Amino acid sequence: MGATEDVFHSLAAAEGFEFERGVVVPWLSNLGHLNAAISNDGLAKNLRALHAQLRGDERLLASKRAGSSPRLDFVLQTRSLIVEIDEIQHFTSDRLATLHAYPENPDLAFDVERYCVL
């Protein structure tokens, strides 16, 4: 983890929040919509469509090696809260397309439209 994550963790701990770092969850993998842990057919369908919109190659996605699943930056178990730190490498045109593909009124802790113009 980088300096930004370290600062966030320190500030949160000073306020009494005990975040876990680097948590792996079964529904988040490097296989995207091909992840067998995604049991919601509608979600898998939406992710497949987004992958196609971004010109992803499903054959290459399926060939990714196991064991390199992404880790969540922070999890606050007592509140069922996930915190991901968006750093400069996350701000891409593909990320913008992903944000524009979100459903109307998603359950998020940020305003998608405001985020898109930052």
User: What's the pLDDT tens digit per position in 41-87?
Assistant: 888 888 899 899 889 999 999 998 877 778 999 999 998 899 988 87
64, 30 Cβ separation under 8 angstroms: yes
Of 42, 48, 44, 49, which Cα lies nearest the Cα of 27? 44
> pLDDT (tens digit, 9 = 90+) per residue, 81-105?
999 888 777 788 888 988 888 888 8
- Regarding whether 59 and 31 lie in a shared domain, the answer is yes
Given a contact cutoff of 8 angstroms between Cβ atoms, the answer to whether 83 and 19 are in contact is: yes
Give the residue numbers spanning the domain of 111: 87-118
Domain count, the chain: 2
112, 5, 28, 33: CA torsion to nearest 10 = 40
CB neighbourhood size of 104 (10 A): 5
* Residue 10 shares a structural domain with residue 40: yes
Q: Are residues 79 and 65 in the same domain?
A: yes
Task: Give which of 99, 29, 94 is closest to 56, Cα–Cα.
Answer: 94
pLDDT at 1: 64
- Whole-angstrom distance, CA of residue 34 vs CA of residue 70: 15
